[in-house]
Amino acid sequence: MLVHVLGSAAGGGFPQWNCNCANCAGVRTGSIRTKARTQSSLALSDGGGRWLLVNASPDVRAQIAACPVLQPGTPVRATGIAAVLLMDAQIDHVTGLLSLREGRALTVLCSAPVREDLSVGLPLFPVLGHYLDLNVVPLPDHGTAFVVAGIPRLRLRTVALASKAPPYSPHRDDPHPGDNLGLVAEDAVSGRRLFYAPGLGAVDGAVAHELAQADIALIDGTCWHDDELARAGITGPKRARQMGHLPLAGAGGMLEQLARFPRPRKILIHINNTNPILDEDSPERRELDRLGIEVAEDGMELAL
Ligand code: MLT
Ligand code: MN
Ligand code: ZN
């Protein structure tokens, strides 16, 4: 299995257009050691040349341009993207679908609640149907393995996660299974396993089971502190937990949770621009180094 990290930032990207927090200002002026990042998305392949796009971020056009394997070059209109799999209906994970409208056809796999959100609250599906042949494929029940046409050697499975539906969704404060998913991708030949969970509010039994068995965990690293936006001086902000993201630090936080699972290589993704770990010289980043936890960056490639 090949994994390309197309984007590694949370909603807003890094730097965010209207943000002058220490990180955003620092990356703009070059005064801190860091790298700019686009909004989170992965491309997965079994080595056969076809790719599964996991989430379609608003930055997808630039992400495809930066990842030449997604553009094979012939015939006159072509793509290496076989299908798009959505982990939730959040704006930073779905609005890139609009930038794929020039295709002839598009296959999108998603849960029933995500399909509802993208049909009613944010009606991307009815809109896209006017541009191309849109094939929305319901995901099988959580835990049931499936494959995507064109990528037969990747065994896929979803895991229902405790997180948050988007602010526009009727499920925002009324969670339903399938509002937020994690993805388990196993290479049918090597048997090696990736667990991807960019929006994770709690490590419950199902998530613990996956973390115990994964070879690589690409996992929610949105915020260091629960009140990180307020600490950055941003007024009226929500806390990380209210947005469905378990903060990294503190009692019961993601770092404490991850320490229970020695097996996987641990890589944080969906990093918010306010997170001190983006500064490679920060004490928080040194703490991650000490724990053996990595921070995803755009262009990162993994092989399993
Ligand atoms: C989230 O992950 O909580 C959302 O992407 C936030 C947002 O849409 O700005
Ligand atoms: Mn997000
Ligand atoms: Zn910022």
Q: What is the per-residue DSSP string for the chain?
A: -EEEEEE-B-TT-BS-TT--SHHHHHHHHT-SS---BPBPEEEEE-SSS-EEEES--TTHHHHHHT-GGG----SSS--SEEEEE-S---HHHHGGGGGGTTSSEEEEEE-HHHHHHTTTTS-HHHHHTTTSEEEEEEPPSTT--EEETTEEEEEEEEEE-S----TTSTTTTS--TTSSEEEEEEETTT--EEEEESS-S---HHHHHHHHH-SEEEEE---SSTTHHHHTT-SSPPPTGGGT---SSSTT-HHHHHTT--SSEEEEESB-TT-GGGSTTSHHHHHHHHHTEEE--TT-EEE-
The mean pLDDT of 256-282, rounded to a whole number, is: 98
Q: Collapsing DSSP states into helix, strand and coil, what is residue 41?
A: strand
Whether 201 lines ligand 1, by a CB cut-off of 6 Å, is no
* Residue 10 CB less than 6 A away from ligand 1: yes
| Architecture field, domain 2-303 | 4-Layer Sandwich (3.60)
At 16 the pLDDT is: 98
**Spatial distance between the Cα atoms of 171 and 165, rounded to a whole number of angstroms:** 6
What spacing in Å lies between the alpha carbon of 72 and ligand 1's midpoint? 32
pLDDT at 236: 81
Would you say the CB of residue 11 lies under 6 angstroms from ligand 1? yes
Q: Is the dihedral angle over the CA atoms 258, 261, 267, 270 positive or is it negative?
A: negative
The full set of domain ranges for the chain reads 2-303
> What is the tens place of the pLDDT at every residue in 11-37?
999 999 999 999 999 999 999 999 999
Distance 282 CA to ligand 2 centre (A): 23
**Contact status, residue 276 vs residue 285, Cβ threshold 8 Å:** yes
Confidence at residue 195, expressed as pLDDT on a 0 to 100 scale: 98
Q: What is the pTM of this model?
A: 0.98
In the predicted structure, residue 237 carries a pLDDT above the cut 90:
no
Is the pLDDT at 129 greater than 80, yes or no?
A: yes
Residues in the chain: 304
Q: How would residue 141 be classed by pLDDT, with cut points 50, 70 and 90?
A: confident
Q: Does residue 245 have a pLDDT over 90?
A: yes
Query: Residue 128 pLDDT more than 90?
Result: yes
Give residue-wise pLDDT tens across range 155-210. 999 999 999 999 999 999 999 999 999 999 999 999 999 999 999 999 999 999 99
- For residue 273, how far is its CA from the centre of ligand 3 (angstroms)? 5
The Cα 210–Cα 284 span in angstroms is 26
* Residue 275 alpha carbon to ligand 3 centre in Å: 8
| Residue 97 Cβ contacting ligand 1 at under 6 Å | no
70: its two tokens: 């997604």
pLDDT over 90 (residue 223): yes
234 pLDDT band (50/70/90 cuts)?
A: very high
| Average pLDDT across the chain, whole number | 97
Q: Which residue out of 90, 179, 242 has the highest number of ligand 1 atoms within 8 Å of its CB and is therefore the one to mutate? A: 90
* Ligand located closest to 273 CA: 3
Work out the pLDDT band at 263, boundaries 50, 70, 90. Answer: very high
**pLDDT beyond 90 at 143:** no
The Cα angle at residue 153 between residues 152 and 158, in degrees rounded to 5: 85
**pLDDT, tens only, 102-118:** 999 999 999 999 999 99
| Atom of ligand 1 at shortest range from CA of 243 | 3
Ligand 1 atom 9: residue of nearest CA: 11
Give the Å distance between the CA of 12 and the centre of ligand 3. 9
Give the per-residue pLDDT at 112: 98
The residue whose CA has the least distance to atom 6 of ligand 1 is 11
CA of 10 to the centre of ligand 2 (A): 5
pLDDT band at 142 (very low <50, low <70, confident <90, very high): confident
CA distances 186 to 105, 194, 269, Å, are: 27, 6, 19
- How much is the pLDDT for 235? 87
